[in-house]
Structure 1
Amino acid sequence: MTETSCTTTVLADFAVIEAVGDDTAGFLQGQLSNDIAGLTPGHACLAAYCTPKGRMLASMVVWQVANAQAPTYRALIRNDIAPAIVKRLSMFVLRAKVKLSLLPAMVQGVSCATPDAVPPAAAAAAASWPKQPAPYTVVETMAGAFIAAPCANPGQARWWHIDTTNSASASEGADSAATSAWHAADIAAGLPWVELATQDMFIPQTLNFDLIGGVSFTKGCYPGQEVVARSHYRGTVKRRMARGVVALDSASTVPGIAPGTDTFHAGAPDSPVGRIVNAVVVNNQAHVLLEVQLADVGQADLRVGTANGPAIVLQDLPYAIVANG
């Protein structure tokens, strides 16, 4: 294993929510889409936080902190929605022994050229570092937690580093090009993030959460569970998430390619057929995740912004798109 084939960038647009208390597991189990009560130290999971109508207010990566004095769970979430999600979740704590807050930590992304490479900040744990980490493997170190992020290239590895030793402003040290490359890798892996512009737009299945391990259909109730389960068991999922790229002729086209922007069939201006989920520009291309109709997967001539807007060239995801996960 090597410690020199990794690059690290500050992810200023992410935050971490911390939930502490004896009732934390049960509380989160009743709020999120995945089986939080079944989580054990060393493993994280995707989860959605939904409205009663099943539309996502947040997507997050949740894990249990090992060896904490009191039961402690943390969630990686987009920074622009984190304070409001803490406030909303706190409204439902009532008499439960749970305290929610934003963790003073810096979130970093570590991209490694080989799957067994050790992030520099984890050098002290090199002897026990996992050689082929499965996605959402959690490694706790003196420098904080490292969580294996999904990666489209099996010959590489990506880690989220929750740096609890550094509570400086996350914007300090952020490199915009490196951050964009990290987000493009999320898009290539088919990993969506709900952000402020897309809250209350999508059910979990539209963002492929049932295909990538973000929904449990065997756990108990949570907000929106009836809608999510009905779509699953009745086979009524009509929309999925696809990946695409948009060639940019000039910088003037960039503002129109943003989360929440409508997409259209070419030449059909009256009826939007989907919306952009996430978008980032790298090397004169906009990399996007987008909502699509099932019939459009892999074959439609889709445009962003208007029916005559820039063309979206659909790309493969590292997992199959099916009607029901």
Structure 2
Amino acid sequence: MSAFFDSLSPNTTGTAYAAPLPDYTVISASGADALSFLHGQLTQDVTGLAPDVARLGGYCTAKGRLLATLVLWRAQAVGEASENSDSPQLYALVRRDLTEALVKRLSMFVLRAKAKLAPVPLHVSGVWAEPADMAKLEAAAGGALPAAPWQRTELPSGTWIAAPSVSGGLRWWWITSEAQQADATALATQVQRGNSDQWHAADLAAGLPWIGTATQDLFIPQTLNLDLIGGVSFTKGCYPGQEIVARSHYRGTVKRRTAYGQWDAMIEPPAPGTDIYDAKQPDEPCGRIVDASRSGALFEIALASLDDGDLRVGTPDGAKITVTPLPYDLADGGFKR
């Protein structure tokens, strides 16, 4: 843990928190062809990314199965850096456990393109607060913070990306260099120390489906709701798996979606990939865990079972799942808000 987080107290009063997120890392894409290369590899419209936003995207196999989910944003142009073919053009936030394999696989397809992918030594942290804390956080961070989900700003204190939230509070991915985090002394006086489990639970409640090594090659983008939260462009052109993803979209054949559920009596979260059963039809699983915390989970499931099933974790008589609506609508008969 860095000196910044060592300086924070978990016991001070207030509603603003910061926590390191060691399960995530940042990849950079540099080179003159970096944007066009990744545009042809990912589900997101990479070349169309505005400079003040971040977007969710996916990387699929040729069969349309997700190998990674990523938060993508354009690199900040400094002076003539945008004209330098060796400077970063794009950054991607990904799960640390699949970073090495992801970089290796994407690099296999670079061929003659002027593009290079590599992990970069940036710190990934989560900051969350109540709206009343915004003014003091902005003063400490060195400028206006983004308030709407997926908006992004570059400040002297680092890159700030507003993350989705369901609580009415504010959340940011805070991406920093070593020097930026060391210089964030003003911010350290305004936040208390949280933990990554709190951030993880908030991601799940917001319906953010992070792919890790345990869930690679299991889901198409629609079953993880990427099309409902802006993670898939259906107008950008080809990418691996695009034909299958587009066919499911235009033919309306998505029969499985990802939902969010909670339980009362589970101490340890189930592992990603754990089966979900409907106790009313116990012979075979009807879904599986995408990701879980102690308080709840995202799980992929047949929509028919989601409507009126008695859902259980691991076995037909396992812990009961109470389905809670996500902050966005599920298509084809799912929950509406």
Fold similarity call, TM over 0.5 = yes
CA contact (8 A) 1:122 1:143 kept: no
CA contact (8 A) 1:118 1:129 kept: no
Equivalent residue in structure 1 for 2:173, among 141, 156, 160: 160
Structure 1 counterpart of 2:165, which letter? C
Could you tell me the TM-score, scaled by structure 1's length?
Answer: 0.88
Structure 2 counterpart of 1:189, which letter? A
**Structure 1 residue 74: Cα displacement:** 0.5
Number of aligned positions between the proteins: 304
Structure 2 counterpart of 1:113, which letter? E
Query: How far apart, in 1, do the equivalents of 2:193 and 2:286 lie?
Result: 31
Question: SS in structure 1 opposite 2:47?
Answer: helix
Equivalent residue in structure 2 for 1:141, among 155, 163, 175: 155
Alignment of 1:37-116 (within 5 A): 37-68=47-78, 69=81, 70=87, 72-114=89-131
Query: How far apart, in 1, do the equivalents of 2:75 and 2:249 lie?
Result: 32
Query: How far apart, in 2, do the equivalents of 1:296 and 1:264 lie?
Result: 9
Aligned to 1:241: 258
Query: How far apart, in 1, do the equivalents of 2:21 and 2:286 lie?
Result: 31
Aligned to 2:84: none
Query: How far apart, in 2, do the equivalents of 1:197 and 1:185 lie?
Result: 21
Residues 205-262 of structure 1: CA distance to partner in whole angstroms, max 9, x if unpaired?
Answer: 000000000000001100000000000001110100000012225x4xx26x111101
Question: What are the ranges of 5 or more consecutive residues in structure 1 without an aligned counterpart?
Answer: 169-174
Query: How far apart, in 1, do the equivalents of 2:278 and 2:160 lie?
Result: 41
Residues 146-176 of structure 1: CA distance to partner in whole angstroms, max 9, x if unpaired?
Answer: 11101112x31100011123599xxxxxx99
Equivalent residue in structure 2 for 1:186, among 197, 203, 209: 203
Query: How far apart, in 2, do the equivalents of 1:104 and 1:134 lie?
Result: 27
**Structure 1 residue 107: Cα displacement:** 0.5
Aligned to 1:305: 314
Aligned to 1:171: none
Judging changes above 3 Å, is the alpha-carbon distance between structure 1 residues 262 and 120 closer, same or farther for their aligned structure 2 residues?
A: same
Question: SS in structure 2 opposite 1:247?
Answer: coil
Coordinate RMSD, CA, aligned: 2.3
CA contact (8 A) 2:261 2:324 kept: yes
Question: SS in structure 1 opposite 2:293?
Answer: strand
Could you tell me the TM-score, scaled by structure 2's length?
Answer: 0.85
Alignment of 1:285-300 (within 5 A): 286-300=295-309
Equivalent residue in structure 2 for 1:262, among 270, 275, 299: 275
Equivalent residue in structure 2 for 1:6, among 3, 12, 16: 16
Aligned to 2:184: none
Question: SS in structure 1 opposite 2:103?
Answer: helix
Question: SS in structure 2 opposite 1:235?
Answer: coil
**Structure 1 residue 311: Cα displacement:** 0.8
Query: How far apart, in 1, do the equivalents of 2:172 and 2:318 lie?
Result: 36
Judging changes above 3 Å, is the alpha-carbon distance between structure 1 residues 96 and 159 closer, same or farther for their aligned structure 2 residues?
A: same
Query: How far apart, in 2, do the equivalents of 1:176 and 1:288 lie?
Result: 24
Judging changes above 3 Å, is the alpha-carbon distance between structure 1 residues 166 and 303 closer, same or farther for their aligned structure 2 residues?
A: farther
Aligned to 1:22: 32
Equivalent residue in structure 2 for 1:273, among 268, 286, 292: 286
- Residue identity (%): 51
Judging changes above 3 Å, is the alpha-carbon distance between structure 1 residues 87 and 44 closer, same or farther for their aligned structure 2 residues?
A: same
